Chain A
Amino acid sequence: MTKVVEISPTTRHEGHSKLTLKVNDQGIVERGDWLSITPVRGIEKLAIGKTMEQVPKIASRVCGICPIPHTLASIEAMEASIGCEIPTDVKLLRVILHAANRLHSHALHNILILPDFYIPGTETKINPFSKEQPLRSVAVRIFRIREIAQTIIAVAGGEAIHPSNPRVGGMYRNVSPRAKQKMADLAKEGLVLAHEQMEFMLEVIRNMQNRGFTDVAGKEIPIPRNLGYHNQGVMATAPMYGSSSLDEKPMWDFARWKDTRPWDWYMGEVTIDLEDPSYPIGGTTKVGTKANPRMEACNTVPTYDGQPVEVGPRARLATFKNFTEKGTFAQHIARQLEYPNCFYTILKCLDNLDTSGKVLADHIPQGDGSMGWAANEAPRGTDVHIARVKDGRVLWYEMLVPTTWNLPTCSRALTGAPWQIAEMVVRAYDPCVACATHMIVTDEENRIVAKKLLQW
């Protein structure tokens, strides 16, 4: 008989979300909904009428882990709308920023997922804050990678969290020769650490794949071979940076995208009738509680060719590098494989960077209301911003962020998982739920579906 269990809130990812799960007698998910319950902030609606300079700075504040993608995608959507070509050294600085942000983000995610994993060959789960070796050195390495990445972002982008340097038409400042050298020195140090960290993580993930079961709250939970499999396909616009409607050959197709309501994809009202007070830490939702994912989801559901898709590192490798594995562990593996290339990219861009080159377009048109979009391959996947700019002001603005694409996809990928490890499936998407909850959800009559939440 089908029962409903709910994990709320979920933990060890960015933002606020929950899992409402229909499970069979064995506790295996028959149908799961993973939804954002982060209060809606309505960035896209409040952007309307504001200047094209201001909106990217607001969009950056959607998320403090990936502010770089939002800043860059937003600025480049404005540039695409007004038809502004940026100088070469701008592009180089932006790619440096971008690659460094991916590094710090992946490293941070290591900290979040490691407690699900075991020290290879042992029955000891990894506590990344343990003072014992080898974990202490792993943590120190992760912190150093993040410190290096954040420093590079701060130098090239003006600020590690919410970069100040990028602007419509270019950057405010080029860097000094000293700053360029500093970034190169840091990247060389980081490259060695990134290789080590990647090898370590791959070993830990492979060990998990071979275990067959894991311990949750003292119970042995089997790990299915096909954990996290889904048939939604993938979407990616570039292995590293992204694409925009200004490109000769744009890598994303506006016409294939359609925004839909959670109504069409999520379950209706259910009543929780399975509860496990031992679920770490604090138990699951109380029996008798009503849940309604259709109404409660604070995310929309963007579709590509009419279906939710997976975005992120695995999507990038599958699209551009013939990576064929799928599921939870393949997602983890793909993410680790992105480490070294970020540092190689930074070093290559630094080689080409002319520190006396100009960093602002000579002419910045003010826009005639044309639609422009820019896709940035954020750490968590394709982040598309779409804008219409007229006379320097934003007429229309839309953000299709990675975790929004992934929410319904991941929900489908929950099927077949023991509910106790549903969160492991979720974490393989490296969710960023604040990112996914920046918009106001409206239904076909343009009624605000999330209004109930806004009234809290």
Chain B
Amino acid sequence: MVSDPYLGKYTTCISARSTDREILKKAQDGGIATTLMVYALEEGIIDGVIVAGEGDLPWKPRPFVAMSRKDILKAQKAKYNISPQISWIKEATRSFGLDKVGVTGVCCQIQAVRKAQLYPINMRDVPGKIAFVVGLFCMENFLYDSIQAIVEDHTNQSLSSVKKMRIGKGKFQVYTERGNVATAPLQATHKYGQPGCYVCLDYVSNLGDISTGSVGSPDGWSTVFVRTRVGNDIWSKAVDAGLFETKPIEEVKPGLELVMKLAKIKLDGNRKTLEERRNFGVNKALRDPYA
């Protein structure tokens, strides 16, 4: 068990991608999140999972409870705006009748799951019914209006023709259905960041059973942290079943070093923001949820 102040606790870190061609075709990166949840569903480890599906506007996510492979696949790809995943966590155990709930989401959403498990405040039945949690890396998120401004104004693309968005190499990248690639410098997107993200002290979903993201691995591959006993069990079975190609993270470029560097940037920067909140007013502070 590694215990890292920036990358959290984990047993192993690998670079991986799904061997499922159908999933890979539409995956954001290595298709880890989707493949794991489909596997867990088919193995009866979960009987449903909260995913970020398509909403009623292009690229606006809508969380829902997926109970079939088909529905889990509908949530492929990262949508860079807020998807309130946890809003379904209790309902999943109610009208959906689930006993083993899976959850996907970014770091803060995984924190919410763990908090509900340990301090269930009007969250009856939830603690015992969370079966598998896959967390995504997350530097920051945006409101829908912001993503609209970034894509339509800064990259000058129409949202409805966008096939994929990515953040990487200092750029916000937009790929269109018809083959165009447009970018905006990340610098220009900063003012659009959701203010709540600037107090977030978690980059690689430290509290997931398994966490995954793009940073550290080559295009089409994902960086994966296997963290808990639940995560370990599912990961090793899925690898044995041939669901993933894997490489030790030490053998890929840019590898853990870059993950660590970005984690430091996020956490150290946001710690500063928190510090500033303590002296925000004259003899008055803004609230600190970590206090």
Beta-carbon contact of A173 and B97 below 8 Å? no
User: A452 at interface (Cβ–Cβ under 8 A)?
Assistant: no
Which residues of the partner chain B approach A174 to less than 8 Å between Cβ atoms?
95
Number of interface residues of B (CB under 8 A): 13
Which of B95, B97, B124, B125 lies at the interface centre, i.e. has the most chain A CB atoms within 10 A of its CB?
A: B95
Q: Contact flags (1/0) for A169-194 with B, using CB distance below 8 Å? A: 00001111011111100000000000
| CB contact under 8 A between A154 and B124, given known A173-B91, A176-B67, A178-B67 | yes
Q: Determine the distance from Cα of A159 to Cα of B91 in the docked complex, in whole angstroms.
A: 9
Contacts of A32 in B (CB 8 A): none
A183 touches B124 (CB 8 A): no
A165-B91 Cα distance, complex, nearest whole Å: 10
B residues less than 8 Å from A155 (CB atoms):
94-95, 97
Contacts of B99 in A (CB 8 A): 182
A173 near B95: Cβ-Cβ < 8 Å: yes
Residues in B66-117 with C-beta less than 8 Å from chain A: 67, 91, 93-99
CB distance from A354 to the nearest CB of B (A): 14
By the criterion CB–CB under 8 Å, are A179 and B97 in contact?
Answer: yes
Q: Which residue in B48, B96, B124 is a CB contact (below 8 Å) of A159?
A: B124
Checking A158, A165, A183 against B97 with a beta-carbon cut-off of 8 angstroms, the contacting residue is: A183
Complex contacts, B97 vs chain A, CB 8 Å:
155, 175-176, 178-183
Across the interface, B95 reaches (CB within 8 A) one of A160, A161, A176, A181, namely A176
How many Å from the CB of B130 to the closest CB on chain A? 16
Distance to closest chain A CB from B53 (angstroms): 16
Complex-state Cα separation, A155 to B95, whole angstroms: 5
**Those of B145-194 within 8 Å (CB) of chain A:** none
* Docked CA distance A179–B91 (Å): 11
Select from chain A the residue with minimum beta-carbon distance to B47. Answer: A178
Considering the complex, give the chain B residue whose CB is closest to the CB of A181: B97
Chain A 135-160 near chain B by CB (<8 Å), digits 1 or 0 = 00000000000000000001110111
- The residue in A159, A176, A179 that gathers the most chain B C-beta atoms within 10 A of its C-beta is A176
Pairwise interchain contact B47-A154, C-beta atoms closer than 8 A: no
Complex CA gap A156/B95 in Å reads 6
CA distance A181 to B91 in the complex (A): 17
- Residue of B95, B124, B125 near A179 (CB, 8 A) is B95
Is the beta-carbon distance between B96 and A154 smaller than 8 angstroms? no
Provide the B46-70 mask, 1 if CB < 8 A to any CB of A, else 0: 0110000000000000000001000
**Chain A nearest CB: distance from B120 CB in Å?**
13
Shortest beta-carbon distance, B113 to chain A, in Å?
19
**Interface pairs (28), CB distance under 8 Å:** A154-B93, A154-B124, A154-B125, A155-B94, A155-B97, A158-B91, A158-B95, A159-B94, A160-B124, A165-B94, A173-B91, A173-B95, A175-B96, A175-B97, A176-B67, A176-B96, A176-B97, A178-B48, A178-B67, A178-B97, A178-B98, A179-B94, A179-B95, A179-B96, A179-B97, A182-B97, A182-B99, A183-B97
Interface residues, chain B, CB within 8 Å of chain A?
47-48, 67, 91, 93-99, 124-125
